[in-house]
Amino acid sequence: MPSALDATTNAQLRRPNLPLITLPWLACALLGLAMLMLGRFLGSYQETLMQQVGIFAIAAVSLNIVNGLAGQFSMGHAGFMAVGAYVAAATTYYGSLLHFNTAELQPGLFNFGHVLMLIGLLAGALVAAALGYLVGLPSLRLRGDYLAIVTLGFGEIVRVLLQQTSPQVNGKDPAEIAAFTDAPLRTLARIPLNGALGFEGVPAYATNLWIWTFVGITCLAAYRIKESSSGRAFLSIREDEIAARAMGINLTKYKVRAFVLAAFFAGIAGGLLAHAGVTTSPIDAGFQRSFEIIIVVVLGGLGSISGAVLAAIVFVLLPQVLHPIKDYRLVIFALLLISMMLLRPKGLFGVREIWNILPRRAAHTKPGATP
Amino acid sequence: MTELLQTLTTTIAVGSLYALLALGYTLVYGVLKFINFAHSDIFVLGAWTTFTAANVLTDRLGINPTQSPWWGAVLILLLTIAVCATVGYLIERFAYRPLRKAPRLNVLITAIGVSLLLQNLGQLNGRVTVATDKDGRPTATLPFGSTPRSMPPLLPDLVLNETVLSQGTLAGGTQRGLVKLDQPLTMLDGRTYRIEFTRTADGQPRREVLALTATAGTFPPGTDLATQPRRSPAEVDGLPYSLIRSPRVPIMLVDVVIVAVAITLMLGLEFLVFRTRLGRAMRALSFNIENAALMGINVNAVISFTFVLGTALAAAAAFLYPLKYPGLNQPAHQIWVLLGLKAFIAAVVGGIGNIRGAVLGGFLIAGIEFFGTLYGDKLFISLGARPGLGTSLADVYVFSILILVLLVKPNGLLGSPVKEKV
């Protein structure tokens, strides 16, 4: 079946991208430095926006691995995010209670609180990845729409289950903290994640520096995945499963791998969200959040990592810039989504990266470059 | 046993709503091979159209559909179908038709876009007021709303299988301001009893429940009604009354109407698809679009018609739904998407593209949802969980069944296997 996504790009796949090995590192370093400085120039509102952009970017880039590269339409990405968020939140919150006897933010650039956050992020990402493995398994038998529904169902199940958890230990009540530190395991066995009210009071260790460091790591990892043999396998599965199988690609292995990788980074995004000073609520696992991430990925281009980051920036900042349209935000993005599918089905950048577009044009315009 | 039968009636009523919605999914999937994610939003549009129309009818035109002009409700049904079918046609024409040759993923994303568009437009348009109550507060908005609203009744609140035990006249007691029945009554079983009487106020005959006691008409076994506190004699003296025994398993008029309308529509659809030329064209399209076009079928017209048919069925379900559940949530509320998802699951479980499968799936999913709630809670309590846990997991049961069916029988219960060609 001819596909509008066909432009995937034999030319692009063959392109050497040597400068890019160093370029992303450089970009990350610059970005990190910028973020460190940014705190001095930006108000707290702008900082919050930057955090949102960063977390959205990680979520979009991770969804891009499974939706954009492997072509497996996952609509439960917010579910993975929420799992990561809750695991990370619980690790830091209860870890802080045990270690510091309080859930307050500990001052300093790096202390045991940050270690707890990193442990929490890793744990959340691993649990999310394990769930990604479970959700990825049905993708072997389910195509397109069915898979979309199953993943959507996964997100909803996560939401419903999170709503059933028991109240959290109140970090402001010394008696409750004492009861918790006496028998932490017995308390944790109740799964004290505060049900439908949402998990509160997680110390906000995830500053812009941390978040954008992880944006850099995620983008770099996603980019390396895209350019690896796995990435090639993902793209071929997306284009034509039967042809991919005929070329000796193990569909089972690669589809599940795409899900696990995407879920892992979604877990990190969720973990950072939990540490960004907001309440982690079961609603975050619902399909509305999943749809928002899908919009970002589709607008940026299915398969384009830099496109996803750019779209995340636009998605969060555009309504802020055009303040009067704030209420019409989702209407506008829905219209954008539809018109994008009608006019430019592969998204802003398609499978390419931003830096792939500019030199390519230049090469074409060179006299004698065309045969 | 009583619980079981009550759950069964709910299952049949709600199941037929799911089935109507599932038919829409299955029809569109049959010819276009994609999930119309906007289907549940068409349903929401229909529910809010019904709500708006009902408010205009009762507030502005002064017609009470529960009373004499019974066709008021039918009018609203037809209006809802017209609105939804028009919107459905426009969506098909301008969003889906240009993508007919595009990959399925693109169409799926477009469908999500249309769904989001409808949801958010609906929320925004809730600011346009159509009807107000006496104090100038808006009671209806165009065409959806952004806050939850309550539907005015379109059907009398009738229980069909209740028994009238006795009728008579209330005798005014002069002493102590009591009103007596003209015969002594003793309640022997544990059922609910109520007393109704006919009164002519403002010129119109009305049926009204006489609150005999503060607890409004539920009398435990052995209650002697004559000993209950009464209304003032001047108010009800000499009025004819009837003593009515409520059944253990009440069959509501609403449920009967829902099932009757749904079954009529399903039979009509069955006739249309399997007995008419148009239906044959639809089936030919679902088999192979290119070949159907070669046989002289107007592909665009038939696809548009199928789409409109699907949205019309959703509109009918949307008209019936607020009759049973009068509380309407705002259009982007997750409850609507979940409803649409359950209907879609019903279509998939029954075998998507298969009309009878959609109906079977609708009843099956409703059964799993309601019986799962009934027995799930008992099971969880017996396992030591807190009460209510099993009830709140209803959606989890439904999604688990979906995954189970897809893993065991990927084409659904009645679906035919699809051969994959290179």
The shortest CB-CB distance from B108 to any of A144, A328, A335 is to A144
Shared domain for B123 and B18, answered yes or no, is yes
Shared domain for B178 and B201, answered yes or no, is yes
Residue A38 in domain: no
- pLDDT, one tens digit for every residue, chain A (371 residues): 444 444 444 444 444 454 555 666 667 667 666 766 666 666 678 888 888 999 999 999 999 999 989 988 888 899 999 999 999 999 999 999 988 888 888 887 788 889 999 999 999 999 999 999 998 887 777 776 778 888 888 888 898 889 888 888 888 888 888 888 888 888 888 888 888 888 988 888 988 888 988 998 999 899 899 989 999 999 999 888 889 999 999 988 999 999 999 999 999 999 999 999 888 898 888 888 898 898 899 888 888 898 999 999 888 888 777 777 667 777 888 888 888 888 888 777 777 887 777 655 544 444 444 44
Inspect the interface and report whether the beta carbons of B392 and A164 lie closer than 8 Å.
yes
Shared domain for B68 and B99, answered yes or no, is yes
Integer CA distances (angstroms), B117 to A249, A318, A368, B22, in order = 39, 18, 48, 22
Most B-contacting residue of A3, A64, A149 (CB-CB within 10 A), to test interface: A149
Complex ipTM, two decimals? Answer: 0.76
Total domains, chain A? 1
From CA A89, how far away is CA A171, in angstroms rounded? 13
From CA A294, how far away is CA A59, in angstroms rounded? 10
Phi, psi at residue A369, to the nearest 5°? Answer: -75, -30
- How many CB atoms are closer than 10 A to CB B250? 16
Which residues in A lie closer than 8 A to residue B144 (C-beta atoms)? Answer: none
Task: Find out whether B132 and B138 touch, Cβ atoms under 8 Å.
Answer: yes
Residue B87 in domain: yes
For A45-84, strand residue ranges (E) read: none
Nearest-CA distance A337 → chain B (Å): 6
From CA B140, how far away is CA B76, in angstroms rounded? 15
Total domains, chain B? 2
**Is pLDDT above 80 for B296?**
yes
Shared domain for B232 and B341, answered yes or no, is no
Query: Both tokens of residue B59?
Result: 């507030």
For B168, residues 6+ apart whose C-beta sits below 8 A from its C-beta are B181, B182, B183, B240, B241
Residue B300 in domain: yes
Shared domain for B264 and B186, answered yes or no, is no
Of B245, B267, B282, the residue at which a domain comes to its end is B245
Name which of B120, B48, B47, B114 is nearest B332 in CA terms: B120
For A198, residues 6+ apart whose C-beta sits below 8 A from its C-beta are A279, A280, A281, A282, A283
Shared domain for B353 and B399, answered yes or no, is yes
What H or E segment, with its residue span, contains residue B115? helix B104-125
Inspect the interface and report whether the beta carbons of B103 and A5 lie closer than 8 Å.
yes
Integer CA distances (angstroms), A43 to A47, A50, A54, in order = 6, 11, 17
Residue B122 — pLDDT band, cuts 50, 70, 90? confident
Residue A138 in domain: yes
**Residue A108, domain CATH:** 1.10.3470
Which residues in A lie closer than 8 A to residue B337 (C-beta atoms)? Answer: 287
Of B221, B245, B269, the residue at which a domain comes to its end is B245
Residue B200 in domain: yes
Query: Both tokens of residue B418?
Result: 């699809």
At which residue do the structure tokens 């038919």 appear?
B23
Of B200, B226, B245, the residue at which a domain comes to its end is B245
**Residue B47, domain CATH:** 1.10.3470
Task: Please write down the HEC assignment for all residues of B45-107.
Answer: HHHHHHHHHHHHHHHHCCCCCCCCCCHHHHHHHHHHHHHHHHHHHHHHHHHHHHHCCCCHHHH
Establish how many alpha carbons lie within 13 A of residue B303's alpha carbon, considering only the half-sphere containing its beta carbon: 24
Radius of gyration of chain A (CA): 21
Residue A168 in domain: yes
Integer CA distances (angstroms), B361 to A151, A267, B356, B357, B373, in order = 20, 35, 8, 6, 18
Residue A332 in domain: yes
Shared domain for B229 and B284, answered yes or no, is no
- Least confidently predicted of A23-27, B89-93, B157-161, B357-361: A23-27
Nearest-CA distance A6 → chain B (Å): 10
Shared domain for B270 and B364, answered yes or no, is yes
Residue A269 in domain: yes
Residue B414 in domain: no
Residue B365 in domain: yes
- Position B365 scores a pLDDT of 95
Shared domain for B188 and B53, answered yes or no, is no
**Is pLDDT above 80 for B16?**
yes
Residue A39 in domain: no
Residue B413 in domain: no
- Position A298 scores a pLDDT of 87
Residue A364 in domain: no
- How many CB atoms are closer than 10 A to CB A186? 10
The shortest CB-CB distance from B108 to any of A73, A141, A295 is to A73
- Position B286 scores a pLDDT of 87
Domain that includes residue A81, residue range: 24-31+45-359
Query: Both tokens of residue A101?
Result: 């006897």
Shared domain for B81 and B184, answered yes or no, is no
Residue B420 in domain: no
Nearest-CA distance A303 → chain B (Å): 13
Domain that includes residue B70, residue range: 2-154+251-408
Shared domain for B112 and B129, answered yes or no, is yes
Which residues in A lie closer than 8 A to residue B390 (C-beta atoms)? Answer: none
Residue positions counted in chain A: 371
